[in-house]
């Protein structure tokens, strides 16, 4: 019998406190609608589409907060496996390195360990989603003009959690029996981000270039969009075990450093 995410992951180990929607608000009703669609067995590509008559920014806000909660839960439970010693650099394989910049404490791109990066990331997102000027909850208060740009930055950085967890800690996911749940969360995140063009296709390359296509997401559209061809892979609908890192990632001497 399939377990829900909260049964696989320890809800007390979230990296940051969960953000909840206030009952009775439109955002809460949208959240319930989205959750009902997920549980209905509908195709994820259909689930992420904007419901008729709904405001796109409300729909995006609900999902950004929900993805923050879910990824926060996944990484919080797995954080014991991601340490200063095991992950001294926040990376996605040998080719991709992520540096932190927030225009406050770190005004220049700064190399951090994965645990430090995750801590800064979750605190930064929590600060944004609790900011009424960016994520307004009061009726009649409009979203800022740059709202979708802010969400793009949030989702881009959250995607890096998937990259790091899949490439460096997939054995831990398997040992927890959680691969099906993480894969579903990832596919939901991926389809939503692509539906509203919220992540640049270049950010997706660490997982495209590894063998993690087997989570069941087809990247044929990315091959058309990329100016550089993506190596051909045959997507598999199920992930049956730990996947070795693509040899091209092991041997490649060029390191891409990403900050945005």
Q: Does residue 103 surpass a pLDDT of 70?
A: yes
CA 84 to chain centre: 22
- The per-residue pLDDT for 140 is 83
What average pLDDT does the structure give for the chain? 74
DSSP string over 145-211: TTHHHHHHHHHHHHHHHHHHHHHHHHHHHHHTT-HHHHHHHHHHHHHHHHHTT-S-GGGGHHHHTTT
- The domain segmentation of the chain, as residue ranges, is 52-221
- The per-residue pLDDT for 237 is 28
Count of beta carbons in the 10 Å neighbourhood of residue 134: 17
Architecture of domain 52-221: Up-down Bundle (1.20)
User: Binding site: what residues are annotated?
Assistant: 82, 87, 164, 169
Q: How much of the chain is helix, strand and coil, in % rounded to 5? A: 50, 5, 45
Q: Give the residue with greater pLDDT, 214 vs 120.
A: 120
Per-residue pLDDT band for 222 (boundaries 50, 70, 90) equals very low
* Whole-angstrom distance, CA of residue 64 vs CA of residue 19: 11
Per-residue pLDDT band for 215 (boundaries 50, 70, 90) equals low
Per-residue pLDDT band for 77 (boundaries 50, 70, 90) equals confident
Among 128, 6, 155, 26, CA closest to 77: 6
Dump pLDDT digits (tens) for 10-64.
Answer: 444 444 455 554 555 555 555 555 555 455 566 888 889 998 998 999 999 999 9
Q: Give the residue with greater pLDDT, 96 vs 251.
A: 96
* Whole-angstrom distance, CA of residue 206 vs CA of residue 223: 14
Q: Give the residue with greater pLDDT, 227 vs 217.
A: 217
pTM over 0.95: no
Q: What average pLDDT does this structure show over 209-215?
A: 51
Q: What average pLDDT does this structure show over 140-148?
A: 93
Among 251, 241, 243, CA closest to 233: 243
User: Binding site for Zn(2+): what residues are annotated?
Assistant: 82, 87, 164, 169
């Amino acid at each position: 019998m399939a377990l829900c995410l909260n049964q696989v992951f320890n809800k007390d180990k979230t990296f940051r406190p969960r953000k909840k929607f206030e009952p009775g608000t439109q955002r809460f009703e949208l959240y319930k609608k989205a959750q009902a669609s997920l549980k209905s067995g509908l195709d994820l590509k259909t689930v992420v589409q904007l419901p008729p008559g709904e405001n796109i920014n409300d729909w995006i806000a609900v999902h950004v907060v929900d993805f923050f909660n879910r990824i926060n839960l996944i990484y919080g439970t797995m954080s014991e496996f991601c340490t200063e010693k095991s992950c001294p650099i926040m990376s996605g394989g040998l080719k991709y390195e992520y540096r932190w910049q927030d225009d406050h404490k770190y005004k220049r791109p700064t190399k951090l360990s994965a645990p430090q990066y995750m801590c800064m990331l979750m605190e930064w997102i929590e600060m944004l989603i609790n900011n009424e000027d960016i994520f307004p909850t009061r009726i009649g208060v409009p979203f800022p003009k740059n709202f979708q740009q802010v969400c793009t930055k949030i989702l881009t950085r959250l995607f890096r959690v998937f990259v790091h967890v899949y490439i460096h800690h997939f054995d831990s996911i398997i040992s927890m029996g959680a691969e099906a749940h993480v894969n579903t969360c990832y596919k939901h995140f991926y389809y939503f981000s692509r539906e509203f063009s919220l992540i640049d296709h270049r950010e997706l390359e660490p997982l495209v270039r590894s063998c993690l296509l087997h989570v069941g997401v087809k990247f044929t559209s990315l091959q058309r969009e990329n100016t550089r061809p993506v190596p051909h892979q045959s997507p598999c609908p199920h992930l049956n075990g730990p996947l070795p890192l693509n040899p091209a990632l092991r041997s490649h001497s060029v390191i891409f450093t990403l900050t945005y």
